[in-house]
Amino acid sequence: MKRHILTYLAAALILTGCSLDIPYDNQFSDPDAIATPENGRELLASGYSSLPSLGFDLALLSDDFTPTYWASRNPSLSNQYNWQPSALHDLSLSVWPQYYSVIATVNALLERVPDINVSSDADRREVADLTAEAYTLKAYCYFQLLRLFAADPAYGLQSEGIVLKDQVPMENLPRSTVGATIDEIRRLLEEALLTGHEGTSPSWLTTDATTLLLAQIELYAGNYQRAAALASSLLDKRGYGCFDASVYRTLWDSSSCEEQIFIYDDPDLSQSYYQGIVYDTNTGDYYSVSPSLAAEFEASDCRTEWTICPFSSTALGDQSFIGKYNLLRREKREIMFINELRMSAALFTAAEAWCQAGGDGESQAKDALNRFLTARGSSTISMSLTGDALLREILHQKHKEFLGEGERYFDLKHYSRLLATSGRIPAPDDYRWLWPIPKDEYLYNENMTQNPGWPKDSFND
């Protein structure tokens, strides 16, 4: 497991001051600290283990759930569900430094890679793998930060993005533009592909993970043809058999399977995932699946068993609770990992890109989506759909696939012109879509700016 790392490496990640930086006078400054491929792997493992898991938090902010009778008994979740500024502020205080902690770890590794001692072809291969994974992990963190703390590219590539941090020493850096951040993410992923991976374990970021992330950033940037080509290359490589019911079940039973691309495999993190939604295992959860969405899951659909958890109690009556990890917990089964990237993401990236590219792409999108739905055991979509109607249907099917996993949040932000929402979810131009930069960042960095609508000197509800 990635959690088994050297204690001195974990201690080195205790940050002071600005969370963009780690103090340079720590263990990373010792040339002998990262002298072998094994040391490098341990350091990179500490980066993986520091990744935040946001799926449930983002799902709560989207239109996946509806409150039950118990919801008012958890003010923290209620504030988050209702987009209270204080809740977003609290999320940003943990998410921003966690991602930049991972980036600091990656930078420390990349700085030491040229000095790692290699004595065999296996060592050289491992160093190449470490380098490729480091580039991919850094790009992944940048992409998550960009989507949370910056405006969508549709509002202009010159708007403020995030801080691009390449060095271990402390620097007072300004925020790069959205366009520059996208370019840097693309560069890192392309460098990773050139370096190459030979690993295949979904516990690490492999070539398939790099390819999927590159497809997603191209889709995000509006480069639809390239996004479709990259995502469809994964479909060609792994085939549609990975979407079969027999494979889908293994996503949730703590086994490796051919649909997985990247997993968080820290049991300590996994065991706490989704735990916040549970009021009481006997009387129900704080939030249930949106009834209209729950009603769409067919008995023949292999996802129904694992996504929708029927529940009945005196206090709540009949409810449809979220399944997946929550179902595992209700059945008192150990949760060993969290599925972060899987092949269904490649399918929907390709379908969205083909649809938006237009022309023959629409037929490709419908064919691919219907092959996927057939494998899942679900009804297919109409081949007569086109344009925005087709894109809305693709996004709706994606909502069902990733229910409770947080993907919907990013679609609500990126496709705001297409997706109707309730009054609880802010309008596309609402300031809350750009999470606040934590106060510590601009206290220590005069070049840092705060997102519009958020106070810079202090936070007030």
State the pLDDT at residue 163.
Answer: 96
Entry pTM: 0.94
pLDDT digits (tens, 9 = 90+) for 253-302: 878 899 999 999 887 777 788 889 999 988 999 999 999 999 999 999 99
3-state secondary structure of 310: strand
Q: What is the pLDDT of residues 347-402, one digit of tens each?
A: 999 999 999 999 999 999 999 999 999 999 999 999 999 999 999 999 999 999 99
CATH code of the domain occupying 7-265+340-443: 1.25.40.390
Residues 6+ apart with CB under 8 A from 386: 362
What local confidence, expressed as pLDDT, does residue 12 receive? Answer: 44
Tokens of 367: 């064919």
pLDDT at position 422: 75
- 2 versus 155: the higher-pLDDT residue is 155
Question: What's the whole-number average pLDDT of the chain?
Answer: 90
Residue 74 has phi, psi (to 5 degrees) of -125, 85
Name the least confident of 72-86, 106-120, 409-423: 409-423
Whether 141 contacts 105, CB under 8 Å: no
Contact 149, 448 (CB under 8 A): no
Q: What's 341's DSSP letter?
A: E
Q: Report how far apart, in Å, the C-alpha atoms of 177 and of each of 156, 157, 182, 393, 447 are.
A: 9, 7, 9, 32, 14
Q: CA 266 from chain center: how many Å?
A: 16
